Structure 1
């Protein structure tokens, strides 16, 4: 005889409760009704802002040498949140090296860089997440279209694809790039390239923008567009530190400035404090060592036949 089949175990009428699905944090989305000249302010929302007494950027004794050449020597600098700050100096003064260390592209030999109170060396991921960076002479993927490049920047920064696409479209409208979005970046002019790279630096709503020569090779119309967006960004609580050779521009738009010569900060403070009774350009020339000696160039005025 075959063995009797075992009786099935009783089944409860109540099905087990499903485990709750994890809820992702809501992503900030700009209001579709935002006007073009306020797009920047609408996009840059999200993480809770740091306490007001925490500076957006603090450098303490930051030093960098290349071989026997000291490019930056024990620089101390503090920039309050919501500031438009200019870093000026002659060629080779250490501006790009300083900004590269702030951005995390170079590691200081000594000293500390803090971004909104976060130590860049101790917690680089958190510090870099709150920054947008535009390096000088940045090489990019210029075979991509402008739309593809901005989407890549957004996804790389952790945005959902739909959010990256929406912000790319809004930034393109603000930077007057909408008509060029489907063209490869290699076809862009110098000003258009600068604008699309700056848009990429802003797409993840950073608290701090680190911009190395953002107006170099940019025409006056594009410069005004960029300035308008950056001014709106600062007015909404963002912070900008930029290097520039344009003293008139720095004097017009920046509320703080530092003059760096030979890797050392020779003057810092508000624009009024640094320039004193002079224009910023005159004060810059004084600190940078005055005018060059043109003695001995009399032959230049004889002209060749």
Structure 2
């Protein structure tokens, strides 16, 4: 697995970016980058990741007609840590603080894995500030019923040493303000992953157009993916009833990490996501008569 991750990471490339800034947000020195002009869209990376190894390949596409604001979350990349747990509520609050700093009232959100759940949590906690959501490999229910008991047993076994010679460890040491704090990040993310949640009631209230992306071999199974799509307002006859506000994309031959570490899947998202962001939803029926 380590070899595959290294190969995929180098294939994507760790490109450098200009327009980099740091802002004091809720006790963090939060690193972010701004690319392009237009409707704002905030990018939220996955756990152990940063802007380059999550978003490098897709930022140029989105920046053609968006103001892309790529964020590094608490303890990740070049953003400092603080003496608080990493929680979805805290990450949502940090994004809200950054938007205040940038004087941005409303934004679109695109998150992957941990960042996808943070995007949904932001939409729940700050519904008036969201115009559209793209969430890849993230769910609104996270418990043994969905993930299975073996998943949580696996999380318990995670140690900093397991990341040796992987891009995650290497990138942390390259970018972090305190490169020796990787074990602290690992422990905080373990605690995040060991905390179950069920946002069903709040998730049903999300009213903005949303695109949910999963791999067909993702951590969650297809039964959950179908439930997620239905709960978000999908599963309708689009010809007869029109397209709903919710869309679903299941990537073929894609594991959880493969959603972004497989360049072929990134190419699919580069084609699909911009179309979704421009599309008027819900859409009227297209069936003749």
Q: By the TM > 0.5 criterion, same fold?
A: no
> Which structure shows the bigger proportion of residues in helix conformation?
2
Q: Choose 1 or 2 for highest CA Rg.
A: 1
TM-score, normalised to structure 1, is 0.25
